[in-house]
Chains A and B, each alone.
Chain A
Amino acid sequence: MSEKPFEPKILGFFCNWCTYAGADLAGVSRLQYPANIRVIRVMCSGTVSPHHVLRAFQKGADGVLIGGCHIGDCHYLRGNYMTIKRITFLQELLKFTGFEPERLHLEWISAAEGPKLAQTVRDFTEKIRKMGPSRLKLAKQAA
Chain B
Amino acid sequence: MDNIRAKVRNLLEEGKVEGYLGYKMVEGHPLPYLFTRENLEELDQAMVAPGNARYPLDKLLQILAVKNPDATFAIQVRGCDERGLNELYKWGQLDPEKVVLVGVACPQEQADYCECPGPWASVIDYGEKCEPVLKSQRVNRIDELPLDNSFQEWLGHFSRCIKCYGCRDVCPMCFCKECSLEHPDLMSTGKIPPDTIFQLVRAIHMAGRCIDCGLCEEACPADIPLRVLYKKANLLVKELFGYDTGSPTAGLSPWKFLGDEVTLEPKPM
Closest to B197 in A: A54
The answer to whether the Cβ of A78 comes within 8 Å of any Cβ in the partner chain is yes
**Contact among A54, A84, A97, A107 with B150 in the assembled complex (CB-CB below 8 Å):** A97
Most buried by A among B143, B180, B187, B195: B195
**A106 CA / B267 CA spacing, docked (Å):** 7
User: Which stretch (B4-12, B69-77, B254-262) binds chain A?
Assistant: B254-262
Does A40 have its Cβ within 8 Å of any Cβ on chain B? no
Interface string of B131-158 (1 = CB under 8 A from A): 0000000000011010111111111000
- B204 pairs with A50, CB closer than 8 A: yes
A28 touches B (CB below 8 Å): no
Interface of A, secondary structure class, is helix
Q: Which of B150, B232, B258 contacts A81 (CB 8 A)?
A: B258
* Selected contact of B241 from candidates A85, A97, A127, A136, CB within 8 Å: A85
User: What separation, in Å, do the CA atoms of A51 and B187 have in the docked complex?
Assistant: 9
Nearest Cβ distance between residue A60 and chain B, in whole angstroms? 12
> Which A residues are in CB contact (< 8 Å) with B258?
46, 78-79, 81-82
Q: Range of interface residues on chain B?
A: 35 or more
Q: Kindly state the separation between the CA atoms of A107 and B187 in the bound complex, as whole angstroms.
A: 27
- Chain A CB count within 10 A is highest, among B142, B197, B265, for B197
Give Cα distance in the complex from A58 to B159, angstroms: 14
Q: Give a binary string over A24-62; 1 marks a CB under 8 Å from any B CB, 0 the rest.
A: 000000000000000000000010011110110110000
Chain A residue contacts of B264, Cβ below 8 A: 84-85, 88
Known: A105-B267, A127-B269. 16 other contacts (CB 8 A): A52-B186, A55-B186, A55-B187, A57-B197, A84-B262, A92-B240, A93-B232, A96-B142, A96-B232, A97-B150, A98-B148, A98-B151, A98-B152, A98-B154, A99-B147, A139-B196
- Chain A residues close to B by CB (< 8 Å): 46, 49-52, 54-55, 57-58, 71, 78-79, 81-82, 84-85, 87-100, 105-108, 120, 123-124, 127, 135-136, 139-140, 143
Q: Which 6 A-B pairs have the closest CB atoms?
A: A98-B151, A98-B150, A54-B197, A78-B258, A106-B266, A81-B258
